[in-house]
Structure 1
Amino acid sequence: MTTTRQPRIPGPDHPITVEPTGARVVARIGGQIIADTTRALTLREAGYPPVQYIPLDNVDQSLLTPSTTQTYCPYKGDASYYGLALADGARTDAVWFYPAPYDAVADIAGHVAFYTDQVDVVVGT
């Protein structure tokens, strides 16, 4: 059985905004910087905490390990994941991104986000 995915459009019942963060954003684990940028985007979605999306070219890509994990969001599209390979051990699926996000959040293409229970993401450092 094949399921057809119908994108949902953000609206008053489920608002989503994507705006430039306007401050430096640093992602780190312990003392190791994973990403550092002044070009992050803040995605605010309904009642969820804001998420920092960091341009992939501002991430230390040598630490990223591809994952086979994939998930789906009806508002953003199909998500893919990376793990992080660090000297003190690996972090599985700590990073996610949308290779082809839906039109409503198209600005996050080429950006990644970090699970904040695995990576410290600090705005305004």
Structure 2
Amino acid sequence: MRLPPGVTPDTPGPGQESVWDYPRPPRVEPVPERIRVVVNGRTLADSTRALRVLETAGAPVYFVPRHDVDLTHLREAARTTFCEWKGTAGYLDYDDGQRHIAHIGWSYPSPSPGYEAIAGHIAFYAGKVDEAWLADELATPQPGRYYGGWVTSGIVGPFKGGPGSETW
């Protein structure tokens, strides 16, 4: 991909990846590390069988198999969005009686061809959960309010989603 004007990718160090080396269209691949998501002190998701979706300029998005998610406090939301690559996403709300979190996560029940692997998986926004863990590292949310990538020390940017990146 050609870089947007004025954008200089950060140089990855040993063991790091640059989000500018990720492909477009996105690639789906298995995650060898353990993924955990925590809300209100409860483990909402815990998996060693997650997948990640990698797309140019975005932090990896982690999709956890539904059978590794505690669905007790999750409800289907009315919201849907469309991705030109993956298809129509449906959203989930969290409500445990003490706390309501709208659109905490999303999934692709019938993804587009080439992305069938993420069917039956749920992704969570790192900025809407209390803790989003990749192995032993607490992830932070990708900048902005639209993208759901998890930022860790294993990747470098700059990342789309922040101010000035609207045209990336």
TM-score calculated relative to the size of structure 1: 0.84
Partner of 2:115: 105
Choose the corresponding residue for 1:68, options 78, 95, 104: 78
Runs of 4+ in 1 over 4 A off after TM superposition: none
1:22 aligns with 2:7: no
Between the aligned partners of 1:80 and 1:38, the Cα distance in structure 2 is 23
Report SS of the residue matched to 2:114.
Answer: helix
Secondary structure of the residue aligned to 1:70 is strand
User: Deviation per CA, 1:9-65, whole angstroms, max 9, x where unpaired?
Assistant: xxx972411111011110112421101011000111121110110001111011111
3-state SS of paired residue (1:117): coil
Tell me the secondary structure at the aligned position of residue 115 of structure 2.
helix
- Counterpart contact for 2:31–2:49, Cα < 8 Å: yes
Amino acid at match of 2:99: G
Q: Is 1:124 the counterpart of 2:104 in the alignment?
A: no
What is the CA-CA distance between 1:88 and the residue it aligns to? Answer: 3.2
Q: Distance in 1 between matches of 2:84 and 2:30?
A: 23
Deviation, structure 1 residue 86: 2.5
Quick one: distance in 2 between partners of 1:13 and 1:45? 5
- The residue number in structure 2 matching 1:78 is 88
Alignment deviations for residues 87-112 of structure 1 (CA, whole Å, 9 cap, x no partner) = 43110111100011111221101000
Q: Is the 8 A contact 2:54 2:60 kept in 1?
A: yes
Once the two structures are overlaid, the 10-residue window that deviates more, 26-35 or 65-74, is: 26-35
Unpaired stretches in structure 2, ≥5 consecutive residues = 1-21, 137-168
Q: 2:125 aligns with which of 108, 115, 118?
A: 115
Larger radius of gyration: 2
Superposition RMSD in Å: 1.6
Gaps of 5+ in 1: 1-11
Distance, in Å, in 2 between the alignment partners of 1:68 and 1:31 is: 27
Partners of 2:102 and 2:23 in 1: how far apart? Answer: 33
- Structure with the larger strand share: 1
- What residue in structure 2 maps to residue 44 of structure 1? 54
% identity of equivalent residues:
32
